[in-house]
Structure 1
Amino acid sequence: MSEMRLSRDNRRWLLTTHIGASVGWLGVAYAMLIMTITAEGSTDLATRQGAYALMSTLDLAAVLPLGLLALATGVILGVGTHWGLVKHWWVAVKLFLNLAALVIPMLTRHPALADALAAARSGLLVDPARQVLDASIASVVVLTAATVLSVYKPWGRTGARI
């Protein structure tokens, strides 16, 4: 299979966009974790309600677009450079981690946020937010691991051609 090669300028633009989206995504993941911890530790219903409402908005307005942008630019860079999409283990694992970090929180944390927000609005201090905390911790860990893989590029080639 012949490789599509990106021009130098396109590669730099895509790499800059990819890094920016990835760093932004990781930053939002850390902020979401801090808001989760703040909400869980607070007995003030307004604090809990505000944190869950903001997190729900950030899930759709920041996490989803940044994750999709990081994923799309990463795939284009993989296909358009010598790294390939699955030629090297670090790229293949990073692709899997990024897909997981994008899909799993949308399937778990986002619905749990809606439930936690409804509980806070109802005046309940005990709410279903454990899933929110677990997903927030997982997002930070997975996105940090993807960042480490990008720097160290471990494990060599997979033997695949794309």
Structure 2
Amino acid sequence: MLTGLLALAGIISWIGKKRSKKLSMNQKKGWLIAHILSVIIYFSGLIGTLLLAVSTKFTADRALIHAAHLFIQFFDWFLIIPGAFASLITGVWLAVRTHWGMTKYYWVMAKWLGNITAIVFGGNFMRIWIHDNFEPIFSSSLHPLQNPLYLENREMLFTGTAISFAILLFLVVISYLKPWGKRKGIHKTTT
């Protein structure tokens, strides 16, 4: 997965560098809006996942617990995954097609590395807690609250969602603050 993400970022970067002109101010604004919307979609999925996972702590109704986890799957498929990939694609495109560049500023490097880390974490761990254990848990005759696999899965889902949320929040904060400045040895370029 990591190789695929780095290849995707590399291809977008290569295509962006082949373009002779940087983005115009209006194009940059449009891509920034697309980037912000993709992050909002990503955040929405994480917040929905967290709220639904928390709601399972306050009910013993098997059908409600099952429905909550079914919607968590939908949030992952239709909000988190598309939001994460769209934010990576739009972020790389913005970096390559503006004065920021992919490696000129520490905050830009932290953003795309952080996003790739979040996607790899989601693909390797969250996938298990959201999708892979879903059917075995709910096809079992055991009530989920009596099933040790479910209880462990739910706790890991809380933890994983909190980690994903923290990564995303960190990326949003550094997008706004743009800390750490320009890398040494990188000459100033014009827009």
How far off its partner does 1:113 sit? 1.8
Pick 1 or 2: higher relative contact order, CA cutoff 8 A, min separation 6.
Answer: 1
**Alignment coverage as a number of residue pairs:** 161
Q: 1:6 to 1:133 in 2, by over 3 A?
A: same
How far off its partner does 1:64 sit? 0.9
- Residue 136 (structure 1) aligns with: 161
User: Deviation per CA, 1:18-68, whole angstroms, max 9, x where unpaired?
Assistant: 011112211221111111111244322112111111111221121111111
Structure number, greater radius of gyration: 2
Distance 1:90 1:139 in 2: 18
User: Deviation per CA, 1:123-160, whole angstroms, max 9, x where unpaired?
Assistant: 23131222211111111111111110011111111247
TM-score, with length taken from structure 1: 0.89
Distance 1:4 1:85 in 2: 16
Contact 1:87 1:160 in 2 (8 A): no
- Residue 33 (structure 1) aligns with: 50
- Residue 82 (structure 1) aligns with: 99
Distance 2:46 2:31 in 1: 22
Distance 1:136 1:117 in 2: 20
TM-score, with length taken from structure 2: 0.76
Contact 1:33 1:133 in 2 (8 A): yes
Of 10, 27, 43, the residue aligned with 1:10 is: 27
Q: Which runs of 5+ in 1 are unaligned?
A: none
How far off its partner does 1:70 sit? 0.7
Aligned with 2:66: secondary structure? helix
Distance 1:108 1:130 in 2: 13
- Residue 149 (structure 1) aligns with: 174
- Residue 11 (structure 2) aligns with: none
1:52 aligns with 2:69: yes
1:112 aligns with 2:129: yes
Distance 1:14 1:6 in 2: 9
> Alignment RMSD, CA only?
2.1
Decide which moves more: 4-13 or 133-142: 4-13
Q: 1:149 to 1:118 in 2, by over 3 A?
A: same
- Residue 73 (structure 1) aligns with: 90
Contact 2:44 2:79 in 1 (8 A): no
Distance 2:41 2:109 in 1: 21
1:124 aligns with 2:141: no
